[in-house]
């Protein structure tokens, strides 16, 4: 009995030593990699998930060619988001233009262990009636219809990041930061390709409850601020599930910061998770609703190339 107990203690000590040695080795190797090489490496890793890293802002953002593009949008996404640890304010703006119903939607809030915001541009195949909005499937715009979008996200008056790019789904996420959606404000700038489309959008925006003095127009660029949403929010957002989701988000956010405390910037933290705890990296980027999305831990060949 004592021999078995001693063997167990020895195995535990050996595992701890190996675990600590592997951790130190990964930290050293990540520190040795050049910045540009690390950015390229992380972007290659995140490409299958539809995201990339922005070194200028130290955030995760969506790619123009993200796989999510072909699935479009429907209101069910917002209604079920809380089940996937996403708690946010959403502001859909519907308007008719060019024989189609368009929808510009703005989101801000908590996405798992990341705080962030999104802007999506979608359209329906025809003119929809207002009671069809909740059931309709909206398509992502084509490359020809991409609009130049800019958004600056603030947390309690302090700027978190600025994202700017011609896009159909502009996003920005700050891993390791946890906040309530009401504490986030986004300043939005959209450059339209024609005045007719811009004024159709602005008219719908004002009908949602925004005021004229809060909207600035210069040429074909409209600027406004999203703070407290004027649209009715999904019912599930107010239930206990949302509070439970935020509790888990805060907990996992603290765990993320504790595990990655050897590093300061998001780039190094995520690479560290990718090599040291691949299952945590998968949980961070894979949405549970997309179970067919494939993730493979770092192959041995790649680990040898990087000396890890």
Residue finishing a domain among 238, 260, 292? 238
> What percentage of the chain has pLDDT greater than the value 90?
69
Residues 101, 9, single domain; the answer is no
Residue 18 has pLDDT above 70, yes or no: no
In a domain, 124, yes or no: yes
pLDDT of residue 146: 96
pLDDT of residue 151: 97
DSSP 29: H
Residues 206, 122, single domain; the answer is yes
Quick one: how many helices (H) and strands (E) in the chain? 8, 12
pLDDT of residue 289: 42
In a domain, 104, yes or no: yes
**Bridge partner residues of 149 (DSSP):** 165, 190
pLDDT band (50, 70, 90) for residue 87: very high
Residues 90, 212, single domain; the answer is yes
In a domain, 9, yes or no: yes
Residues 15, 132, single domain; the answer is no
Residue 207 has pLDDT above 90, yes or no: yes
pLDDT of residue 294: 44
User: What is the C-alpha separation between 30 and 25, in angstroms, rounded?
Assistant: 9
Q: How many domains does the chain have?
A: 2
pLDDT of residue 166: 97
User: What is the C-alpha separation between 137 and 185, in angstroms, rounded?
Assistant: 28
Residues 77, 195, single domain; the answer is yes
Residue 264 has pLDDT above 60, yes or no: yes
User: Are the beta carbons of 134 and 166 closer than 8 angstroms?
Assistant: no
Residues 194, 112, single domain; the answer is yes
SS (H, E, C) 180-195: CHHHEEEEEEEECCCH
Q: Are strands 51-54 and 59-62 parallel, antiparallel or unpaired?
A: antiparallel
Residues 70, 146, single domain; the answer is yes
Range of the domain at 222: 54-238
DSSP 235: G
pLDDT tens readout for residues 170-197:
999 999 999 999 999 999 999 999 999 9
pLDDT band (50, 70, 90) for residue 273: confident
In a domain, 288, yes or no: no
pLDDT of residue 296: 46
Residue 88 DSSP SS3: strand
Higher pLDDT, 58 or 292: 58
Token representation of residue 264: 């300061």
Residues 9, 125, single domain; the answer is no
pLDDT band (50, 70, 90) for residue 241: confident
User: What is the C-alpha separation between 110 and 245, in angstroms, rounded?
Assistant: 10
pLDDT of residue 278: 79
Residues 6, 61, single domain; the answer is no
Residue 103 has pLDDT above 90, yes or no: yes
User: Are the beta carbons of 91 and 103 closer than 8 angstroms?
Assistant: no
In a domain, 138, yes or no: yes
């Amino acid at each position: 009995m004592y021999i078995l107990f001693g063997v167990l203690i020895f195995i535990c000590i050996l595992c701890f030593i190996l675990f600590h040695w592997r951790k130190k080795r990964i930290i050293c190797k990540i520190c040795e990699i050049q910045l540009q090489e690390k950015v390229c490496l992380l972007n290659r890793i995140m490409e299958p998930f539809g995201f990339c890293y922005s070194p200028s802002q130290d955030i995760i953002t969506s790619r123009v060619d993200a796989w999510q593009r072909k699935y479009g949008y429907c209101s069910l996404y917002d209604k079920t988001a809380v089940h996937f640890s996403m708690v946010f304010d959403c502001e859909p703006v519907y308007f008719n233009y060019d024989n189609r119903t368009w929808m510009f939607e703005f989101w801000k809030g908590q996405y798992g262990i990341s705080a962030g915001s999104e802007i999506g541009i979608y359209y329906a195949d025809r003119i929809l009636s207002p009671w069809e909005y909740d059931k309709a499937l909206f398509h992502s715009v084509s490359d020809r219809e991409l609009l130049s979008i800019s958004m600056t996200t603030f947390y309690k008056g302090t700027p978190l990041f600025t994202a700017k790019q011609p896009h159909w789904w502009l996003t920005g996420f700050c891993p390791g930061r946890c906040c309530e959606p009401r504490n986030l404000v986004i300043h939005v700038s959209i450059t339209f390709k024609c005045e007719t489309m811009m004024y159709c959008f602005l008219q719908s925006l004002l009908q949602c409850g925004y005021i004229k003095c809060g909207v600035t127009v210069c040429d074909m660029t409209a600027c406004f601020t999203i703070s407290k949403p004027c649209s009715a929010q999904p019912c599930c957002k107010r239930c206990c599930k949302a509070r439970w989701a935020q509790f888990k988000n805060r907990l996992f956010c603290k765990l993320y910061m504790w595990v990655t405390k050897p590093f300061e910037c998001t780039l190094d933290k995520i690479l560290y998770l990718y090599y040291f705890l691949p299952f945590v990296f998968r949980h961070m980027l894979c949405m549970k609703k997309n179970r067919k999305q494939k993730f493979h831990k770092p192959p041995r060949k790649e680990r040898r190339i990087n000396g890890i």
